Structure 1
Amino acid sequence: MQIFNEKETIQLLETLTNTPSPSGYTTKIMKLMASMLDDIGVSYVQTNKGALIATVKGKNDDRHRLLTAHTDTLGAMVKEVKSSGRLALSMVGGFRWNAVEGEYCTIHTARGEAIRGTILMHETSVHVYSEMGTLPRDEKHIEVRVDAKTTSAEDTRALGIEVGDFISFDNRFEFTESGFVKSRHLDDKASTTLLIQLLKLIKNESIELPYTTHFYISNNEEIGYGGNASVPEQTVEYIAVDMGAIGDGQQSDEYTVSICAKDSSGPYHYELTRQLVALANANNIEYKLDIYPHYGSDASAAIRAGFDVRHALFGAGIESSHAFERTHVDSLRHTAALLYAYVTSPMIDEED
């Protein structure tokens, strides 16, 4: 049995990252996710907030597991239509303006049109602005240059652009010969891809899971509340499948699965985290344990919302998170292997 299909995984990941879905503007991608679940043949419900919860009934239907990944991404909204015809921005999600400076983008108008633009400093030209290299990258200086003949607010509004319209960033997906995946929004479309692939595997191979397991595709994680509601009451264990953050002082890398012991919300459930480590060791899955000081997940959001669950977090290692993201197919492979090992294993209080 092939747990990880590289070609299918990369193709699906490209499809998902090509689909604009900043938090608050996720209807299109959630319809895409629903169609995928229909194709797989798994039952699901949609929450009032637009998330999807697919369920695979297991041998034990009294104690449930839940896996979650999110389709929503970073993005922006139109804060102001300037007198120049350009656009001031308001951030959606936690990033820094320098991470999107120079990026191509799409303005999604309320009447359904997609208008192209570029995110730039107002003072971009070195031939005009001698201080352009030292000015702060912030909401006062960053703007969108609209790809239309517009020199006034009236011209821009005539295009259908208005305050509150969403703006998505180009993903620039690339899969290199050396096995790297480069794209914006690998957080968390890499994990969403792996959950869909796991569902396909379970259905195609007629795998009976030991426990009824829910696959929660959330759509508001980047703004803090994606998976903190509609958790089935029988849920005992809640796993957030999300990126591992890479940088100075971190163990995570682009080639292994990252298991989080603690983030800004505090420690994850100790015994469940140790079970993940034991599963990795028993199945020759390469992993790194890590602590993410500036990080939160849907699992920690569920804990803050008051759900009585054991919570844990693991996922592929993502370089330059919330900016120019990259991972390696090896990290995706090890994450897929840990997902499979986990959903087919006994709970920690039922082990022999």
Structure 2
Amino acid sequence: MTSSKDKPLPIDRQYLIETLEKLLEIPSPTGFTDTIVRFVSAELGKLGLTVELTRRGAIRAVLPAPEERGARAIVSHLDTLGAQVRQLKANGRLSLAPIGHWSARFAEGARATIFSEAGPSRGTILPLKASGHAFNEEIDTQPVGWEHVELRIDDITSSFDETAALGIEVGDIVAIDPQTEFLENGFIVSRHLDDNAGVATTLAALKAIRQSDIQPPVEVHWLFTIAEEVGVGAASILTPEVASMLTIDNGTTAPGQSSREFGVTISMADQTGPFDYHLTKKLKHLCIENDIDYQKDVFRHYRSDSASALEAGADVRTALITFGVDASHGYERIHYDALESVARLICAFAASPVEIERDLEETSDISGFTRQPTQTPT
């Protein structure tokens, strides 16, 4: 059996990038994820895993191992930010409600698709005062907010009735164009890198494991959730045998944060509190053992699939590793180096030995319970 301390598994860069590109081309705001679920299910099938879907489409694919108990979960989310039609306006345009938490500042100027039962329509999200020729300096002084933008439909309509005749209704999903660029220097600029980049990285790590002779000591559950951006995430996807959960998502590269667009960022805490002491320590040592560039960070205005799993009552150790994203939930930028680092750490974690044998059982007595250092150094 190959251990995590052996030569690192090669990550197929072309596969990772091509998969990310395909994912970004699929509209997948929360509530509109059927197509991307089908795509990822097909990819998992190509990698030799059997897919199980929940009723709404969250994905579970299990990599078998000698031990089912104490399973590990690798989790990323398929849903992205977007919007819904809130109102058909008298001028024929649409007012919007955001899906997920993102600023209307980043919506201004975005090209978008409205998905109605009558078929897709194209349009542009604009501030209410969009022309300097008409409003002069007011275009720079108008407020920012979802009540101050509207979606101009690229069809012949200038009234409520004409827009209604197009088949557009309140509640229709609006997907935002990603506007993706892959640069030769390794930078990737796009909307919706959160968490399409995490999904592509997870699949690339699974591909590396499947093409190796690695045999994880316990089952590895590859999970893909469909409602992380609205806080639901992994609330109903974990099974009782899962003992530890590693979430893959974006890091926040910004002033006051330690995240970088290079290496892997191990999150020590988010707004819901600290991640598991022992699991995050293990991830740090796996980075050191496998020569993976890393840094630690604490996220202040951030939650992930880990939070939704714990809030739903799952008694699992959770940790979060991230690829640094500049301008997260806006027009985002990442670097391939971080994606490869995250993929390598996923592989190392999947292959690593079980260190807390007690976690094979859901409950047990105090024997074998973990210890944290409390003694003052002399």
TM-score (ref. length: structure 2):
0.90
Secondary structure of 1:155's counterpart equals: helix
Q: 2:260 aligns with which of 238, 253, 257?
A: 253
Q: For 1:291, give the aligned amino acid.
A: V
Q: What do you get for the CA RMSD once the two structures are aligned?
A: 1.3
Distance in 2, Cα, partners of 1:205 & 1:271? 28
Worse-matched range after superposition: 131-140 or 101-110: 131-140
**Which deviations, in whole Å up to 9, do the C-alpha atoms of 1:44-74 show, x marking residues without a partner?**
2101221010111112222201110001000
Distance in 1, Cα, partners of 2:82 & 2:109? 14
Q: Is this contact kept in 1: 2:129–2:135, CA < 8 A?
A: yes
Alignment match, 1:195: 202
Q: For 1:94, give the aligned amino acid.
A: H
TM-score (ref. length: structure 1):
0.97
Secondary structure of 2:202's counterpart equals: helix
Structure 1 position 347, deviation (Å):
2.7
Q: Is this contact kept in 1: 2:9–2:209, CA < 8 A?
A: no
Structure 1 position 142, deviation (Å):
0.3
Alignment match, 1:132: 139
- Bigger radius of gyration, 1 or 2? 2
Q: Which runs of 5+ in 1 are unaligned?
A: none
Alignment match, 1:302: 309
Alignment match, 2:272: 265
Q: Is this contact kept in 1: 2:9–2:347, CA < 8 A?
A: no
1:33 aligns to 2:40 (yes or no): yes
1:116 aligns to 2:122 (yes or no): yes
Structure 1 position 251, deviation (Å):
0.8
Q: Which runs of 5+ in 2 are unaligned?
A: 1-7, 359-378
Q: For 1:261, give the aligned amino acid.
A: M
Q: 2:93 aligns with which of 54, 69, 86?
A: 86
Structure 1 position 350, deviation (Å):
4.7
**Which deviations, in whole Å up to 9, do the C-alpha atoms of 1:102-125 show, x marking residues without a partner?**
0111111123x1111001001111
Q: Is this contact kept in 2: 1:3–1:336, CA < 8 A?
A: no
Q: For 2:210, give the aligned amino acid.
A: K
Distance in 1, Cα, partners of 2:60 & 2:213? 20
Distance in 2, Cα, partners of 1:89 & 1:163? 9
Secondary structure of 2:73's counterpart equals: strand
Structure 1 position 76, deviation (Å):
0.1
Q: Is this contact kept in 2: 1:275–1:348, CA < 8 A?
A: no
Secondary structure of 1:133's counterpart equals: helix
Distance in 1, Cα, partners of 2:100 & 2:126? 19
Which runs of structure 2 are paired with 1:202-351 in the superposition (5 Å)? 202-350=209-357
Structure 1 position 129, deviation (Å):
1.4
Identity of aligned residues (%): 37
Structure 1 position 2, deviation (Å):
4.7
Structure 1 position 242, deviation (Å):
0.7
Moved over 6 A (4+): none
Q: Is this contact kept in 2: 1:76–1:167, CA < 8 A?
A: yes
**Which deviations, in whole Å up to 9, do the C-alpha atoms of 1:278-313 show, x marking residues without a partner?**
100111100110000000011111111111110000
